[in-house]
Structure 1
Amino acid sequence: MSREQLIDHAVTTALEVVENVGPDQLGAPTPCADFDVRALLNHLLFWGPSLNAAARKEAVPPPAAAETDVDLTAGDWAAELSALLRDRAAAWGEPSAWTGTTSVGSPQQMPAELIGSMVLGETVVHTWDLARATGQAPAWDRELLEHIHADLLGSAQMGRDMGLYGPEVPVPADAPLIDRIVGLTGRTP
């Protein structure tokens, strides 16, 4: 399966999870220590436009509000997040998204393939966070999880060095792939 197909699979699962988050679950804790469901949704809505624009090699103006200032009571946040996710699948579904260099929220250019892999991993890991917090048990395509796991084996330390991941949580080698993935990002499966 190509990377372009992998992002589509990741987004399909993310959409299913988002559609099943209830308004009474916004205060629930997530496996990501810094976020409850509301804060995680704010994070996804805040960074979504930048992650999608990176695929198109477009600059996104810095948001006027801080990440924590996204208002989940204004409008339909689920529809907005679903639209961002569908746009992510379309943007990163183009082969050109994975070539050359691009950036996310800063002028620093990085290989588009590296950014795309980060976007793919973030989509799955934050979907897992949201699913765990809201009592959902999504299923991912094995090839998608194998790709993300292989990528994280090589890049998780960089993520920890950047403060994006916590310390690795030991997970048995025979644990499900999603558990090994989230363990690499500092989450306890």
Structure 2
Amino acid sequence: MSRPPGGGQDVMDLIDFVPATATLRDLVASVTDDQLGAPTPCPDYTVGDLVEHVGGLAIAFAGAARKQPVPGAEEGGSGDASRLEPGWRTRIDTDLADLAAAWSVPAAYEGETQAGPFLMPAPEAAAVALDEVVVHGWDLATALGRPFVVREEDVAACLAFAEPFSTPEAVAMRAPAFGPVVPVPDGAPALTRLLGLLGRSAGASG
């Protein structure tokens, strides 16, 4: 599902998507066929649904970086495991690598672009894309029982995107992309705070 606009992050420099997408690529490649039906922290998604969504968002946000319309991108990745074709691991790996390459070009951050059904400033679309990659990386790692490693600067960028629409005044902006904010302890790690803002409970993994 595509995220609503409103993060308000002013991206002054290019975002390096390579580390976050590399983590997600590794996780996708590790999914076995018998794990596709397992639950994830996304209540409506099995592992297979989540993986299919990741593949769709990779294509959609690479298109957003290049200001190129992508057929079906308005759905932001349907999240339907039944659409996973033979060879999906290789396809999604390639598309995540392409996502990182697309946002490595300075022109990607100029002007406005279409991200899912939303028209938004291109830097904000980049922030949405990074948020998708990081948070769904955590979702998938958690579902698979694997450790999740993310750079501090990537979490900080996602927090800057998520915080403006995680206040009580912004509740209407959250649905249906995010669940209710989950309170976290004072002094919680940045990743735990990010996940809480996005309606997830990191437990001991944050």
Please give the TM-score of this superposition, normalised by the length of structure 2.
0.81
Percent identical pairs in the alignment equals 36
Q: Cα distance 1:75–1:159, how it changes in 2: closer, same or farther (>3 A)?
A: farther
Q: 1-side partners of 2:124 and 2:110: how far apart?
A: 10
What does residue range 45-124 of structure 1 map to in structure 2 within 5 Å? 45-62=55-72, 67=78, 68=80, 71-72=83-84, 74-106=85-117, 108-124=118-134
Unaligned runs of 5+ in 1: none
3-state SS of paired residue (1:179): helix
- Offset from partner CA, 1:25-76 (integer Å, 9 cap, x none): 111110011111011112122332111100000011237x99227522x221
- Range with greater deviation from structure 2 (51-60 or 9-18): 9-18
1:135 is matched with 145
Aligned AA (2:109):
W
C-alpha RMSD of matched pairs (Å): 2.3
Q: 2-side partners of 1:90 and 1:169: how far apart?
A: 34
Q: 2-side partners of 1:176 and 1:137: how far apart?
A: 16
| Residues 1:188 and 2:201 are matched in the alignment | yes
Q: Cα distance 1:55–1:39, how it changes in 2: closer, same or farther (>3 A)?
A: same
Q: 1-side partners of 2:172 and 2:123: how far apart?
A: 16
Q: 2-side partners of 1:151 and 1:111: how far apart?
A: 13
Match 1:168 to one of 181, 194, 198: 181
CA contact (8 A) 1:46 1:70 kept: no
Q: 2-side partners of 1:70 and 1:103: how far apart?
A: 27
CA contact (8 A) 2:49 2:81 kept: no
Aligned AA (1:21):
V
3-state SS of paired residue (1:41): helix
Please give the TM-score of this superposition, normalised by the length of structure 1.
0.88
Q: 2-side partners of 1:158 and 1:13: how far apart?
A: 31
Q: 2-side partners of 1:146 and 1:179: how far apart?
A: 12
Unaligned runs of 5+ in 2: 1-11
Aligned AA (1:87):
D
CA contact (8 A) 1:9 1:144 kept: no
Q: 2-side partners of 1:175 and 1:132: how far apart?
A: 18
Q: 1-side partners of 2:55 and 2:112: how far apart?
A: 24
Q: 2-side partners of 1:17 and 1:2: how far apart?
A: 27
Q: 1-side partners of 2:160 and 2:103: how far apart?
A: 19
3-state SS of paired residue (1:75): coil
3-state SS of paired residue (1:103): strand
